[in-house]
Structure 1
Amino acid sequence: MNVRIARRLGVGAVAALALSTATPAFAYEIGPHSYGGELRFWTEGSRSIMNIKDTGTSHWVKAEYYRVAHSGTKLNLWNKGGPDGPSDNDGNKGTVESSRASEIFKARGTVSRNNLPDWHTNWYSN
């Protein structure tokens, strides 16, 4: 009887350890975040898709972000179409959407200003 209880406790401990180290089945999205009436950016699809919406009228905008699969490489998603540009897959007008890939763990929005320093939001992650 004691051996049976010990086995059950051992199996229970192994199961608890496996569940505690497992990756959650969902990830909190980043955003949406805005900057000075110029842009909005956010992730979707369990942080696997980046979106950048141009809400201003004067400058190109981009999202700068990092993915888990290539954590040392900063990626850029440009939106040069303006607020009246094409829509993303969800119907958001003036929005550019990345392809689905590994999880995005850090992102910020940037307003590109010709011959002047760019404006950046803070880096965001969840």
Structure 2
Amino acid sequence: MEPVTSVEELEWQPHPTAKGVEIKVLVSRGAQGTDVTCMLVRIGRGLEVLAHVHDRSDDILYPLAGKARMWVDGSGDFSLEPGVIVRVPQGTNHRIFDVSEDLLLYDVFWPALL
């Protein structure tokens, strides 16, 4: 695999569990053999990602655009918007809700989720 990939050439795919949410996998164990998964996540206004846990991976979220609320067990809820970075430790329940502006996230899972 080449070290440089055009993000525009990668396909948006339906999120495996969140209806209407889309992901674009940028780096993965399956494609590049790395122990990290990097993706873009697109969550439209009014949509949500229900509470869930990643048992084997930390989830690091960096908003590129938009605005929503996020809840992380043990930390409560807070604004999710550009200028904030969130680390959800593996095994920690979390959710994204109240998406008031279309949200675009750069999302990193370590160790790799995919």
Q: TM-score, normalised by structure 2?
A: 0.35
Q: TM-score, normalised by structure 1?
A: 0.33
Structure with greater proportional strand content: 2
Give the structure, 1 or 2, with the largest relative contact order (CA under 8 Å, sep 6 or more): 2
